[in-house]
Structure 1
Amino acid sequence: MPRLAQFVAALQQFNFADEPSTGRGMRLVMRDGCTRSAIDALRGTVDIDAAIAVWEASLRAPPWDRAPRWTHGNLIPTN
């Protein structure tokens, strides 16, 4: 396993339950209003009905029921 993958896997072993939250990982329903506003702001740019359908499907997903995890944004491919 490459060293970076080992490092990331090791990070997942820490208990972050008492650490501050950045808002990531919160229940999607808590972002419903602002997400719908953001989708509406894209009217004429994207298919609003399709975007709302995807968002509403996301809201029906089961909530995360495991221990909290931190996400390090610098490790995403677009960075």
Structure 2
Amino acid sequence: MSTAAAAQVAVLFAARTAGRMAGPFLRPIQLLIAWPVASQLAARHNAKAAEEELLLRRAEREEVEHFLRLLASERMSV
């Protein structure tokens, strides 16, 4: 094995070992970095769900108002 190949293997082994050692320490940091993105996505999802709920309630209210107008017009004509 040439010296360059041995050095390359040593570097790869050191990087692999360092990655294993840093893993438990990096995970919480990665979670903290990702938290604002996840939080923003959840907030957008909640806002969209609330908007859809408001639209459904508005449609139901308009449907009830229309039904009451029809009912009132039938009573007036009788």
TM-score by length of 2: 0.23
Higher RCO (Cα < 8 Å, 6 or more apart): 1
Larger Cα Rg: Structure 1 or Structure 2? Answer: 2
Structure with the larger helix share? 2
